[in-house]
Structure 1
């Protein structure tokens, strides 16, 4: 797909999760996004790269004590390392932006036309990150600035987002020291100081009925009338656009 706000895209995928790579490859082909596979950092790859004590204490406060606490700590840290490795690659290569996807991402059929329009509307604007999907948390803002873009804050999840070169170094410096999971760092720290945008309607969601490598639970549908109506209206308005 041409005319986008990124030239490079990567899918974070653990080597043994060939099932996820197959699913997202098929989905990306359907919506015209070309992305390379990025071998994810696994727990066994961390070696002496230990999670920070601040992150451990944060997860203990949020989740409490559980038999899976150590697993979540290690996988959360490994996940951050994967994202940061792509950002470091983009920085070193001098790319103006990069699209980062997690392998449980799934794009809506109307992605081609909406993404192209959103990228056109992005031209001439200052921005730090562009979310293609995510969850707006309590206290966050969402203000329309064009037909297909919103200014946002306190957006959680990091399964599909574009990072601008203007914040590569900030993320690399701050995220590991923040004591937060990466998506929390973005929502609570980066978005408070950097102009963050989101495409509307939402293009990318986390795949349902897929076991989370971090949470170790299967994602199940939660029916919300407003979201269902928004998706229905978007599909009616934009259709299954070709690229």
Structure 2
């Protein structure tokens, strides 16, 4: 069933990684999807129950391990289903006004480009915008909250991430690390992988309490938590509407 969003309909499937207990983020993502023009389509846009391990194992933190394993499991499913392409979103994603208004142009470019990785959201601040929305990019990138992978790279990613899991931390070829670092490591080791980056970024991480970084002390005190929540909503609204 089509989602009625040109961007989401371009991909075979879209996965949103969401911890089951984070109902707040799930509901916020449903609102984001409505902004994109999407209707509920559980076979097309899937809320994937994020993995929450009991300990950090060989990773920097419990959260980084859970995020890594969640991305890996989504990619395993995509490989098993032989998807032609895949969109991965994390549950703190918010779409920019530019994306909402330019979905058709964005899809047209993706259809014409030869790409393996497409970072739709990232933290790079470009000073200029070219005629095209996407540009080639070969440097390391932090954040993995809004990205797409094509079929040939899906299988390669699964193999690489599984190998990373078996290595010790600090291994020269890449040991357990944050998943965004693993993506960048794979791309660095395989320069033939074509990576494109959206300019401007089409999505940002919505301001909300983090299960990876942990809650701040003032987020657990009711008298402070309410005004902090209001401030976050204002900040997110401004970023949605005034980000290029």
TM-score, normalized by length of structure 2?
Answer: 0.71
Q: Contact 2:6 / 2:107 at 8 angstroms: preserved in 1?
A: no
Displacement after TM superposition at 1:7 (Å):
2.8
Match of 2:157 in 1: 171
Q: Distance in 2 between matches of 1:142 and 1:155?
A: 17
| SS of match in other structure, 2:86 | strand
Change (3 A) 1:127 1:14: same
Matches within 5 A, 1:1-243: 1-2=5-6, 4-33=9-38, 35-44=45-54, 51-52=57-58, 56=59, 59=60, 72=61, 74-136=62-124, 147-152=132-137, 153-176=139-162, 177=164, 178-179=174-175, 180-190=177-187, 193=191, 194-208=193-207, 210-217=208-215, 232=242, 234=244
Change (3 A) 1:167 1:2: same
TM-score, normalized by length of structure 1?
Answer: 0.72
Displacement after TM superposition at 1:157 (Å):
0.3
Structure 2 residue ranges without an equivalent (≥5) = 165-173, 217-227, 232-237
Displacement after TM superposition at 1:232 (Å):
4.0
Q: Contact 2:129 / 2:200 at 8 angstroms: preserved in 1?
A: no
Structure 1 residue ranges without an equivalent (≥5) = 60-71, 222-227, 235-243
1:22-73 Cα deviation digits (max 9, x unpaired): 01111111112462211111124x8xxx734xxx4xx4xxxxxxxxxxxx2x
| SS of match in other structure, 1:123 | helix
Q: Distance in 2 between matches of 1:188 and 1:217?
A: 30
CA RMSD in angstroms, aligned pairs only: 3.0
| SS of match in other structure, 2:94 | strand
